[in-house]
Structure 1
């Protein structure tokens, strides 16, 4: 006798519907809490796109923005201060990533004077901007500033891709210059490639910073960044050759030179004895020197006067930048 085939037990329709609903709810909750789906497309008052922010703040989490610590200086045009965050609410071990971006203005040679900026010898320069681990800046078009140059700068996780960060800032600069009515005919373009930071190396006696004939007492190691139009060398001395001695810089970047000449305190020759603009075979060239801890500690013990060291540097740099010597 043949046994009739058994039918599979039917899953109750109500239970099936409840399961489908639960999966949909959980999926939607995941999308809402741990991705930026259906989030705002524009951030920081329209200055930054969410898509650009996602290239910097990678991983899971929703993206939101809030006013930055200097937001009281906002003018609704080129000046603003904004913090963008990405937070994953439902994934264990995931923290908050932060991108701080602002539009501001600085003295034209801000990138070569220290302070809150990285040492210039650690910066990858490109025309109209620079990038270092976890930060970058792009100058606004010259048409946007009557005085000191405007710029957009960002502080990001040190693991952020510098090329993506510069693209974000370039897009932001274009948007806020358009908003301010000062955009040039051709928008700013991000460089195709950001050169990596140069490693520290041994300094060669009689050719410090790779400049033939240039000698700096006590300097053991050096870091040289050279983008073609902008060059900088950080020198180090002391135990382990880690103590900062002096950073020497030069640039022929037209955007930087223009910003310097517009800046408050510029006299026509420069700002002071070690931050000057010279004529280099018809091409304006900015030279700068910042002394460090080791230089200050050693001054008076066979260390040259800052003015003498700066003069020796500019003379040694003439050949590099194609400066014709007087006949």
Structure 2
């Protein structure tokens, strides 16, 4: 005859089983989707888990791997289940040329990225960014070239970053690196302001890049496209505008413009043949770059877009007037 288990005892066993399953599920979630059992300091203590979470919102377990040279670090976030995302990014100190970030055809910052300007200068976006380190930190970049500039660079290999959070992460790592190496230029100084890029918008040829007095005749792209623009930064420090044709994401901007007052960014411009003036008591540079856009002079002229010299004159005149330059 089968043994009957009292209903009250069966209910207690069922409740205990449910609690055990919930505890197991909760433990697995904490293990794989949070940093409860993971490190709170990453990259040799230069970053915290909170720094990473601000730059890459979402759940997951964090881990890191440092290089033997102590100048680079890779951080990973692994996660399981719906609503989670994996992340992998690296931080490296690298030497750049003395012309960085305004090498012709390969500007490392423009109107398409958030601009960091002030105590620290650089740029960030969803796929990465960089921050200039003081010139006294050149040894961190392991370069013997006297004209090189040390740069802390973030590369996002998997996932996407929140640009403002990534800027703060770079600033935190840079502060730690420079303090360790005793090459910080202004100890205790706050990082630069983060100036977000605008949305892409149609260009008003009566006020190109929203710069008063900057006017162009009607321009039509090689395939009949209209002109669009994206701006970033501030005319008080570093300002950028990218001009592109609609539907031409493959080639990107056909012209990039910049007004640079930021002292850190101006270093690479001081000995170059770049138009400059004194505006608001600050040395100010006016830059124009054709971004290696694939068109020849005849194609450019056919669009109604002025020559590089004409465009430079129009832009420089408008910028000087807008900034009340001497």
**TM-score w.r.t. length of structure 2:** 0.72
The CA RMSD over aligned residues, in Å, is 3.8
User: Which residue matches 2:27?
Assistant: 28
Q: Aligned match of 1:247 in 256, 261, 278? A: 256
Instruction: For residue 9 of structure 1, report the CA deviation from its aligned partner.
Output: 4.2
TM-score normalised by L of structure 1: 0.72
Matched, 1:144 2:142: no
In the TM superposition, structure 1's runs of 4+ consecutive aligned residues that sit over 6 Å from their partners are: 11-22, 238-243
1:83 aligns with 2:92: no
8 Å CA contact 1:208–1:216 kept in 2: the answer is no
User: 2:122, 2:132 within 8 Å by CA — same for their partners in 1?
Assistant: yes
Q: Render the CA deviation track for 1:200-259: whole Å, top value 9, x for unaligned.
A: 222224x4332415436626333333413111222234778996331111210011113x
Q: Residues 295 and 180 of structure 1: is their aligned pair in 2 closer, same or farther, counting only changes over 3 Å?
A: same
Distance change in 2, residues 1:86/1:239 (3 Å): closer
Alpha-carbon separation, structure 2, partners of 1:235 and 1:253: 22
Question: Matches of 1:12 and 1:244 in 2, distance apart?
Answer: 69
Aligned partner (choices 102, 105, 110) of residue 92 of structure 2: 102
Q: Measured at CA, do residues 57 and 222 of structure 1 come closer, stay the same or move farther in structure 2, by a change above 3 Å?
A: closer
Q: 1:133 to 1:234 in 2, by over 3 A?
A: same
Deviations 1:65-116 (A, max 9, x none): 236xxx6xx743xxx3333111124x26745222232222334664455648
- The residue that corresponds to 1:280 in the other structure is 278
What CA distance in whole angstroms lies between the structure 2 residues aligned with 1:246 and 1:13?
Answer: 73
In terms of mean alpha carbon deviation, does 305-314 or 172-181 score higher?
305-314
Give the match's secondary structure for 1:121.
coil
Name the count of aligned residue pairs: 296
Unpaired runs of 5+ residues, structure 2, are 1-5, 139-145, 221-226
1:114-150 deviation per Cα after TM superposition (whole angstroms, max 9, x unaligned): 64846x1212323112233343332223442474332
Q: CA deviation at 1:322?
A: 2.9
Aligned equivalents of 1:155, 1:13: Cα separation in 2? 54
Determine which of 204, 226, 232 is the counterpart of 1:225. Answer: 232
Does structure 2 retain, via aligned residues, the 8 Å contact 1:137–1:153? yes
Are the equivalent residues in 1 in contact too, given 2:59–2:85 (CA < 8 A)? no
| Structure-2 separation of matches of 1:105 and 1:321 | 34
Deviation track 1:38-69 (CA, whole Å, cap 9, x = no partner) reads 212222233322221122333332111236xx
Equivalent residues in 2 for 1:27-66, closer than 5 Å: 27-66=26-65
For the 8 Å contact 2:137–2:178, the answer to whether it is kept is yes
Structure 1: 5+ residue runs without aligned partners?
1-6, 262-267
Evaluate the alpha carbon distance shift between residue 62 and residue 285 of structure 1 in structure 2; reply closer, same or farther with a 3 A threshold. same
Shift of 1:168: 1.0
Cα offset for 1:165? 1.5
Alignment deviations for residues 2-34 of structure 1 (CA, whole Å, 9 cap, x no partner): xxxxx9845799999888776655543432222
Tell me the secondary structure at the aligned position of residue 111 of structure 2: helix
